[in-house]
Each structure stands twice: as C-alpha cells, then as structure tokens.
Structure 1
Amino acid sequence: MVKLEAVRGFAAVYVVLHHIFSKELSIGGNDISFLFSFGQEAVILFFMLSGFVIQYAYSYSKDKSFRTFFLKRLLRIYFPLIIVFIAHYVLSSISLNGFRPINWWTFWGNIFMLQDISFLKPNVICEPFLGNSPLWSLSYEWWFYMLFFFLVNKLKERSSAVVYIIGAIAALTYLVHPNFLNRVLMYLVIWWAGVDMAKLYLNKVEITVKNLKTPLVIMVLHVFILILNVVLHKNSSFSIGVSPFLELRHFSFAIISILLAILWKKMKWVGFKQTLGIFEPVAPISFGIYISHWFLIIQADYLDTIISNELCRLCVYSFVCILFSYFIECLIFKRFSNCILNKINIINVESSCASFQTTNLPFNSLRQVG
C-alpha cells in the first residue's frame, strides 16, 4: 500500500513538472522537455488509484449509507477546492490592482462539477474556474464517486459488467456526438479498472492479466473505437495533445500502465524504492498541490518584482505551494472535517494530511480519508 502512496505523490509532482518544463528544458544542450509531456497520463494514474482506494475503503466502512459516503466525499473535494478558489481570486485581483471579474456560469459549473477544457475536448459545458486547468479532472472524479455508490448498492456483483457495457456504448456514441456525459461514462471504465483491482486484492486473488482480462479487453475495445474516432474527426490542425487523439492516448496509457505494473510486480518491484518510492512523502499533500500549483507556480507573478532570478523565483513559488498545500490539507481540513462530521455523528473521519485519493484503510502507510 505504500506503493500506492508513492505513485500518487509521483503523479502530483509530475503534473507540476509537466506544466513547468513540457515546452522547454535543456540539459547540456539537449532538449529533454519530452520527458515531461505526459501530464494527462499522470491524471489517468490518479483515476485508477482513486477507483482502487474508494472500493477498498468502502468495503471496510461500517456505515455504508449514502449520507455518510456523500458527506465525506463532499468535504474531501469541496473544502480544499473552495479555499483554492478564494486564494486564486485574491491573488489574481491583487495582480490586476482591482477585483477580477467573475464568470458566474463558469463558477457555478465548477460548483456542480461540470468543468472541462474546451481547447482539448469538444462540446465542453464550462471551463475550470479562473482558468485553473488542472481542475478539469475533479468533475470526472466527483461523478465517478456518485456513480460508484449507486452501482455497487443497486447492482452489486453486476456493477462491473454494467459499467463496461455502458462504457462501450458511451464510446460508440462519442463517435457521433462527443459530450460531457458520454465522456464521463467512457472514462468510468478506466476508473473502474481500479475498482476491480481492489476487489481482487480484497479477495486475496493475484492481480494478473488473466484476472483483469475483462477490463483490459474492454479498454482495448475502447482503443479501437477511439482509433476510428481519430480517423473520422481529425482535421488540418490535428495534434496528439487534443481531441480526438487525446482520448486515445488516455485509454492506451491505462492499458500500458496496468501491464507495466503487473510486470514490475513479477520483477518484485526492483528499483521502485529508488525511483517512484521517493515521492511517498508528497502523497499527504498531493491533492493540495494538484489543485493549487497552477496559480501558485505556473501562472504566479506575485513575487516577480521582488525576486528577479527566474530559478530562485520558481523555487520560492514551489515552496509557497507546498506550504499552502500542507496548510489546507494537514491543518485546516483536519480540524474542519472532524468538527463537522463529529457533530453529525460520523466518527473516525478524515485524518490529517490526507489526499482525495486515499481512504480509511487498515494500513499505516495509507492516510485515512474515510
């Protein structure tokens, strides 16, 4: 389980590095920026990790009511997010020397978790609030959570089969009219692969290609459908970083990452501790980093007039982001959630330094999220 923490920490750091270095980074005269060109794939890792730990947590939860499930997810996502909204608005208003105009359609669209990035995908309902582009994935996460509760309680053992059937239908409709709804249902397949891996783990069944053949076959089917989508909808401004190729990248990477993880496990995780393992300490604040780095590092200008050296300024901005994330994740959120949930008799709530991906597991290596 420590490995899940490490991968989560790595994914958060990689997304930040992607936004900093994906366009230009030279070492010894050699351009290595391509190494940081896979920020979207890091989010796909988040999706699968999320599915795994939500299933794991829910299986150990004593209170499986929707009220408890909903309130924990609501607090976990929205409390840090609202703080980020406020901090981002304040900083951008200071930069403008006046109040920044608010697009209320975008604001309420983000509150109801309908945001996505229009220059990457077609038929988007609204943009991430204040241009904080990493927030696009939160809308998917939120609806994955809500669909998870409904499916596991109403369909039980049939839930996986239904998810994969609906996902395939959504992929087919995506060929005709891509939109937010069929995108969420299509990507639920990736998230649910994490759910199925957790089920295997809980039942003490080895996670192998054979035991994951259903989600893998369904994702391969999605890949073929999305190849057809590329053929049908590519245009003169075709780019591998935007739709229709982007969705194909996502599903291809999901398959590759599962296969590589299974292979790495067979190799007894050789080298893991020295590579991804070093990111485990970042995991407790990874959610805070993910949702705040865009305005605290990438688009930051609040110290530009004070620190002239670009590298020093980047280091200070990164330090501010880490402190801010620690503050909201490990200090503010802990006290707030304990206060709220204890008042409504939901015991053993989110512990300190938790991110939105990990949940109430019986392992010291995973922080509790309930």
Structure 2
Amino acid sequence: MTARPQPPALSPHVRALLDAARACAALYVVAHHVAKGYGFPGLTGHLLRFGQEAVIVFFLLSGFVIFANERVRALSPRGYAWRRVRRIYPPLIVAMIVSTLVYWDNGTLARHFDAGRLIGTLLAIQDVSTLKPGVWADPYLGNDPLWSLSYEIAFYIIFPPTLALWAKRPALTTHAVGAIGCGAYALFAMVPNHLALVIAYYPLWWAGAMAAQAYLDGERSVRAIAVPLAWLVALCGVALVVALVQPRYGIGLYPILPLRHFVVAAVVVAVMFGPIGRLMGRASAWSPALWSGVASISYGLYVLHMPLLVDWQRAKGAGGFALAAVLLIALAWSVERWLPRLLPRAPSR
C-alpha cells in the first residue's frame, strides 16, 4: 500500500519567526495600552502609539498559520469549526469574567455594564465606535483589544468556502477576494456598517494565507505573492481616495486609520517575504524557546491585559501593578496551556 504523501511543512526558521512576530506583537499591544492608560510622556509614549498596526500583524500571521495548518483539514467543516471555537472562545469568556470582576471590585460595574455590549461581544460583532463609524457594539466593559476578535472570527468563517473555491480556481479566487474587499470598503465609505468593514479587511488575512501557500510551494521571492500584494496596494488606493474625499479628524481615526492598516499590511507582506524576512527568520532561530514560550500565551496576554493592568484600580500603584502583571501571566498561561486540556478535541475525521 502506497503511503499518502505528506503536505509540506514550515521550516524551523519560519516557525521561530512566526513565534517571534506573535510574541513581539502581543507584548507591544500590552505596552501600548499601558502607555495610553497611564499617560506615558515624551518619546516612550510616541513609540508606543502603534498598537493598531501590531493587530494588523496578527491578522497577517493568522492567515499564514491557519492556511499552513488547516489548508486540508478546513474542508472538513465540523472539525475545523470546533478547533476555531475551542481556540477563541474559552480565553475570551475568561477575559469577560475577569473584566466583570475588576469592575465589580472597582465599584463601577453597575454604571458601566451594558447588556448590548455583552451580547455583541459574544456574537463577535464588536468594534470601537470612537475610532470608526458603523459600529454595531463596543467591546464588553471597555476591553478595547477585543475589537479584533470580531474580524478574526469572521475570517475563520469565510476561510473554508474561500479555500474550496481557491482549490479549483486559485488565481480567480485571489482576484475575487481583493476586488470584493475594495468594493466593500467603498461601500463602507458610503454606508458605514461593520459587515462591510470586516469584508474589506479580509484581503489582509488572505494575503497572509497566500504568503503561506507560496512558501509551502517553495517560492522565496516577493513575485510569488504579486497578486494578493497588488490587491493590498489597490485597497490602499481606495482608502486613500476615501481619506481625501471625507472629513479627517486625526491620524488615529477613520478614514486615516484604515489607510494606515492597509499600508502596513502591504509593507509587512512585501518586506517579510523577501531577504529581510529570511534574515529575521535566521535571527529568531537563535532563541526559539523564548519566542515559543511568549507566543504560546500571547492570545491570553492580549485579551486579559486591559482589565488587569489598565482598568483595575488596585493596579494603579507600583506594588499593585506588579501584582496585576503576575496575575496576568498566570491567567494567560492557564487559559492557553491548562484550560485546553480540559476541553474535548475535534474529531480526527
């Protein structure tokens, strides 16, 4: 009996680079919100202003990793859906419980509790209304980092049908993703709504997926990802036109903010799939255990740091902040490393 050929795998250098990127992005987002929440002055505050861009790196990494790991298994909807739910929701629910306890301990739960935000976050339709129009629900109890999960969950849902189409018509599918994304952003500019914005961001996630596909096919040149990269550039063009036409209120708000996101995505994809990315991959391989350790709890750090380090009144002093930081690491480890062991796994077939 002939053994089934195994799909190509990521090299140790690439795995180390992915871990390093995920770890650095998570730590930067934590530092960004701490700096913003505590009003860090001067150069430090300016250097930590780009938390949104770090989240865009997460989107690209997610597309890359999900495609690399799920490009065959995602065509089996039941197992794929359970793996995604098992990954996203347990830490999210723990983070929402922690936020509830923090606001209760602060004595402000009754004032800040909003059932619409609770339901919206559980249904993954949350975003930050102070940054962009068309938001259906803000994140529960002001845990703003949770905004990205509504996009991430939507991308998980869109991926299997996209993958099925891509398996039959790869070039046409990538063109369709890019064109629909550009059209969705133009529609959002005319009629702001969360669904259109999520669809507009999907080409970023798909560009990460197509970078993984090119890498697994043995390609090491940016020319191999020319099509998804070209659509990212087109998306930047649409966002630039929108930014020029519509009123602008600041570089951190719509319509400049999505333009920043799209530009960063295009630059990161182009740079990381070239010589600089290979050099960084070799450098990351020098300390893979460090990057792997931080990356393994990065999602927990991401969803839990805001209530513990910024919202909790007991964390305002030096000693309280140190205690909150220790609690953050312990909880992040628990939800990422211990909690999954208690949950049933998806069926193998």
The answer to whether the superposition gives a TM-score over 0.5 is yes
Structure 2 length normalisation: TM-score?
A: 0.87
Q: Deviations over 1:236-293 (max 9, x none)?
A: xx21011110000001111121233224135465755689995442100000110010
> Cα–Cα, structure 1 residues 123 and 268, in superposed 2: closer, same or farther, change >3 Å?
closer
User: 3, 6, 9: which one pairs with 2:23?
Assistant: 9
> Which amino acid in 2 is paired with 1:243?
Y
> Which amino acid in 2 is paired with 1:313?
G
> Is the 2:16–2:291 Cα contact (8 Å) retained in structure 1?
no
Partner of 1:42: 54
Residue 224 of structure 2 corresponds to residue 217 of structure 1: no
> Is the 2:174–2:227 Cα contact (8 Å) retained in structure 1?
no
Query: Aligned equivalents of 1:311 and 1:274: distance in 2?
Result: 34
Query: Aligned equivalents of 1:187 and 1:334: distance in 2?
Result: 33
Q: Deviations over 1:327-366 (max 9, x none)?
A: 1111122222xxx236xxx149xxxxxxxxxxxxxxxxxx
Partner of 1:108: 119
Q: Percent identity?
A: 30
Superposition deviation, residue 82 in structure 1: 1.1
Residue 272 of structure 2 corresponds to residue 258 of structure 1: no
> Which amino acid in 1 is paired with 2:163?
V
Residue 151 of structure 2 corresponds to residue 140 of structure 1: yes
> Which amino acid in 1 is paired with 2:232?
M
> Cα–Cα, structure 1 residues 253 and 278, in superposed 2: closer, same or farther, change >3 Å?
farther
Superposition deviation, residue 178 in structure 1: 2.7
User: 306, 320, 323: which one pairs with 1:316?
Assistant: 323
User: 132, 137, 152: which one pairs with 1:121?
Assistant: 132
Query: Aligned equivalents of 1:287 and 1:263: distance in 2?
Result: 29
Q: Deviations over 1:168-225 (max 9, x none)?
A: 211222332232111111100100001101111221222x221111112111111111
Q: Deviations over 1:20-73 (max 9, x none)?
A: 1257446xxx63321111100000000000001111111353x73111111111
Residue 342 of structure 2 corresponds to residue 329 of structure 1: no
3-state DSSP class of the match of 2:222?
Answer: coil
Query: Aligned equivalents of 1:323 and 1:11: distance in 2?
Result: 19
Partner of 2:78: 67
> Is the 1:6–1:277 Cα contact (8 Å) retained in structure 2?
no
Query: Aligned equivalents of 2:92 and 2:348: distance in 1?
Result: 23
- How many residues were matched structurally? 330
> Which amino acid in 1 is paired with 2:145?
P
Q: Deviations over 1:86-144 (max 9, x none)?
A: 12212211221776663222111111110000000111000001111000000000000
Partner of 1:243: 254
Structure 1 length normalisation: TM-score?
A: 0.82
Residue 62 of structure 2 corresponds to residue 58 of structure 1: no
User: 167, 180, 189: which one pairs with 2:194?
Assistant: 180
> Is the 1:6–1:281 Cα contact (8 Å) retained in structure 2?
no
- CA RMSD in angstroms comes to 2.4
Superposition deviation, residue 5 in structure 1: 0.8
> Is the 1:24–1:31 Cα contact (8 Å) retained in structure 2?
no
User: 236, 242, 245: which one pairs with 1:232?
Assistant: 245
> Is the 1:10–1:276 Cα contact (8 Å) retained in structure 2?
no
> Is the 2:208–2:269 Cα contact (8 Å) retained in structure 1?
no
Structure 2 portions without partners, runs of 5+: 1-14
Deviates more, 1:186-195 or 1:80-89: 80-89
3-state DSSP class of the match of 1:117?
Answer: coil
Superposition deviation, residue 317 in structure 1: 1.7
> Which amino acid in 2 is paired with 1:191?
W
Give 1 or 2: higher helix fraction. Answer: 2
Structure 1 portions without partners, runs of 5+: 305-309, 349-370
3-state DSSP class of the match of 1:31?
Answer: helix
Query: Aligned equivalents of 1:135 and 1:2: distance in 2?
Result: 26
Superposition deviation, residue 159 in structure 1: 2.8
> Is the 1:106–1:126 Cα contact (8 Å) retained in structure 2?
yes
> Cα–Cα, structure 1 residues 201 and 274, in superposed 2: closer, same or farther, change >3 Å?
closer
3-state DSSP class of the match of 1:231?
Answer: helix
Deviates more, 1:125-134 or 1:64-73: 64-73
3-state DSSP class of the match of 2:218?
Answer: coil
